[in-house]
Amino acid sequence: MQPLRYLPRPVPDALAGLVDLAVDLRWSWSHCADALWRCVDAELWDATGDPWLILESVSQNRLDELAADPRFLRDLAEQVASRENQLKQQTWFDSLPDAGDLGTVAYFSMEYGLSEALPIYSGGLGVLAGDHLKTASDLGVPLVGVGLLYQQGYFRQTLDAQGEQLELFPYNNPSMLPVLPLRDTAGGWLRIDLELPGRTLRLRGWEARIGRVRLYLLDSNDLLNTPGDRGITSELYGGGPELRLQQELVLGVGGWRLLEALGIAPDLCHLNEGHAALAVLERARSFMNRTQRGFRAALSATRAGNLFTTHTPVAAGFDRFAPDLIARYLGSYAQSLGLSRPELLALGRADPKDATEPFNMAYLAVRGSGAVNGVSRLHGVVSRRIFEPLFPRWPTGEVPIGHVTNGVHVPSWDSAAADDLWTKACGKGRWLGALEAHEDAVRALTDEALWRFRTTERQSLVDAVRARQERQLATSGQVSVAVPEPLDPDILTLGFARRFAAYKRPDLLLRDPARLLRLITDPRRPVQLVIAGKAHPQDQVGRQMIRRWSDFACRPELRGRVVFLADYDLAMAADLVQGVDLWINTPRRPWEASGTSGMKLLVNGGLNLSELDGWWAEAWSPDVGWALGDGREHGDDPAWDEAEASGLCALLEQEVIPSFYDRDASGVPTSWVARMRESMARLTPRFSSNRMVREYTELYYLPAAAAQRRRCAALGRLGAEIAAWQRRLAEGWPSLRLAERSSSRSGSELRFAVEVCLDDLPATAIRLELYAEPLKDGDTPQRIPMERLGPLPGPVQGFLYAATVDTDRPPEHFTARVVPFHAEASVPLEAPWILWQG
């Protein structure tokens, strides 16, 4: 399958390479061709920085002029050749000894934040997905993305004269977006059919190019669909539960069918959140059709190749749907799987017998995946608590949720000045492979060089804010209002930008407005503040927070010191993270699963002051930034919020501001620069998506692909074997009995013997263990396998198990337990049963 070339009018043959450059979103982080696009149309380039929009908008006369310009054609040929050479270069993935063992990774996400030129993102989840795809391209990981092409995307924001948020929903005209329609084998537009109650939904396929990676998108805006169905992909996170379920059907079921129509058979399906959980069912259904296996065997065969990444820090954040709604939309689909409706609903419930329990997409994703991970070390701990209901009686620490801490695509977020600094220190290909040498290279930079760099960054932010204020004023229609006073490039600049939601506490600095006012207007050590962010249209609390900040920023004494920038997007985020000196983040712990905004400052020399939550809980030390909170959970306690608000101001007054303004004889704040250096050197590589994608590849993608191939071989023979093992466990577990246990000590050794009655279960299907809780926090529990010695006399199948432990702990610290065992299965993820003695 090849994408159609899609332009509203012809391009001269000599400029064909310009189309290839424009449609490849690699331009969003590789700026080699910027001068070329400025030559095409300088005004449009300065206004948008969007090559595809320029190519779609520029006049035919201008294209004809360029096609006859030898110098432009020479520059174009150089850029086309450079792009082709870079895409052919050996990559990090190519150098792996087992690279050939991984075919394709299909990455499913409800949103992608690749560029403001493709507005199909809302916030952190989408930006993370976009950075994942960009990094896969850089590293050569064989990955394709699957998502939705929204007619409106997420809303655009403006503020009225009273500071109230207004939502705008401009139409995304596909011809003005860097996407290409896909065609089928007959040369027509590739379409996917999806069965909905009483009708068939027709979905159109699109392709976006991101270097070596392709992102495949579906939309329902087909004239053959009903008006209501055309709006299924109208906006991101809009509408009610029914629209959300429809979108998740399109993403999961439609997305898998799109891959099949394109001839792509992924080894691994990576679910970025539970929105795409239905893909695990469609993958199993497809395997059933190919092999004639039943659903349980097909799911067992394919789930090893599914990875579920959860970003949700609270159980209430999961997508849950009423049983009647699931039955209406998936009742017929259940029949195609050979399942009854109750059996299908059970896959998304903690208690399969509770007919009133909603269907939880995250539960389905867990039950359909071979591995599950959170997005920071702390979030892994939190996620194990959240998913405990699926693994009753298992210790929380053994709930099978790992973690890969998020990272950011550094080339997308570094400024021109940062790129120059890092290139001189670490080389041009520094984010394309191993990162171990970067730390020492950055530590070698002088105080003077780092401070000049930071001063340049701050001036760039001041200029960018000024330009944005002028544009916002021009588009507001308030021609009689003067442009606000500019920021000062020599003042300590604080910033934060985020979704305005109660748990993120974006108003924490405003709890004591008088104290904040004194801090900002201090004549000796002044501070300036740049703020941005959106509230969900239905979130009245978030909207009120925006109004409060807007009111505060409008106070006469704060002119030129506090700015609220409307319509936060990727371009604005880049300006902020490149220019602010200090990024402030104040979520309630542990409700920030990871957070990545503060990571984007690292390469640009900015410092972080953040709650000890998400990524900062594992990144912080006193020599790289500042921490808020005590590292414990306090819920939404108003008294604790007030205490942290006071603590935040105290940190600024007593540590942050003095560090910035205490200068040596050369005018350099040495203690501030020391933190800059350590933060840049130590944290930038560690919290880059380079490290993140390499971890996913080595820890999950490669092992999962190998496991999936083993299970699917011979028409899924191993998958069927594991499914039969699961069935026997489910049937036989209630009859299991742990009988007598004895223990004796000889010196430092404890000898345990335990009698087990297995009834109809084969002894090979289980394992007996001794379990002991850790003596200290942070230690791992002891799990000691017991040896099966021989059968017990009597009619019931019983065995004696024994183990010897070298320990000074008393025998009552150890408890015998029975757990499922299969050499090729993941326990307890695929077999959640457990039996404890006593």
Q: Residue 594 corresponds to which tokens in the numbers above?
A: 């990871």
Q: Using the CB atoms, write b or e for 71-101: b if 16+ within 10 Å.
A: ebbeebeebbeebeebeeeebbbeebeebee
Q: What is the pLDDT of residues 527-570, one digit of tens each?
A: 999 999 999 998 999 999 999 999 999 999 999 999 999 999 99
- CATH code 3.40.50.2000 for 97-406+697-712: yes
In the chain, the percentage of residues whose pLDDT exceeds 90 is: 86
For residue 451, what is the enclosing H or E element?
A: helix 447-476
| Architecture category of domain 438-476+491-687 in CATH | 3-Layer(aba) Sandwich (3.40)
pTM of the model: 0.96
What is the spatial distance between Cα 598 and Cα 602, in angstroms, rounded to a whole number? Answer: 7
Closest CA to 130 of 749, 692, 624, 653: 692
Of 680, 717, 722, the closest CA to residue 820 belongs to: 722
Question: What are the φ and ψ backbone dihedral angles of 294, each rounded to 5 degrees?
Answer: -75, 170
Token reading at 748 = 């430092």
DSSP character string of 643-698: HHHHHHHHHIIIIIHHHHH---TTS--HHHHHHHHHIIIIIHHHTBHHHHHHHIII
Return the CATH number of the domain spanning residue range 736-836. Answer: 2.60.40
Burial class of residue 653 (count of CB atoms within 10 Å of its CB; 0-12, 13-18, 19+): middle
Contact 652, 414 (CB under 8 A): no
Which residues does 659 contact at the CB level (< 8 Å), separation at least 6? 669, 671, 672, 675
Contact 765, 820 (CB under 8 A): yes
Is there a shared CATH topology between the 97-406+697-712 domain and the 438-476+491-687 domain? yes
Percent of the chain with pLDDT over 70: 98
Report the phi/psi class of residue 336: left, alpha or beta, with left for phi > 0 and alpha for psi in -120 to 50.
alpha
The rounded distance, in Å, linking the Cα atoms of 108 and 422 is: 33
Is 357 exposed, middle or buried (CB count within 10 Å of its CB: 0-12, 13-18, 19+)? Answer: middle
Query: In the chain, which stretches have pLDDT less than 50?
Result: 1, 3-4
108's tokens: 């499913």
Select from 252, 146, 244, 249 the least CA-distant residue to 195.
249
Contact criterion met (CB below 8 Å) for 678 and 672: no
Residue 698 and residue 96: Cα distance in Å, rounded?
Answer: 9
d(CA 625, CA 675): 6
Distance CA 616, CA 826 (A): 31
Region label for 39, one of left (φ > 0), alpha (ψ between -120 and 50) or beta (otherwise): alpha
Quick one: pLDDT at residue 820? 98
User: What local confidence, expressed as pLDDT, does residue 199 receive?
Assistant: 95
146 alpha-carbon distance from chain centroid: 14
How is the chain split into domains, by residue range? 13-88, 97-406+697-712, 438-476+491-687, 736-836
pLDDT in tens, 219-235: 999 999 999 999 999 99
Q: Do the Cβ atoms of 684 and 605 come closer than 8 Å?
A: no
Q: Give the integer Cα–Cα distance in Å for 94 and 80.
A: 23
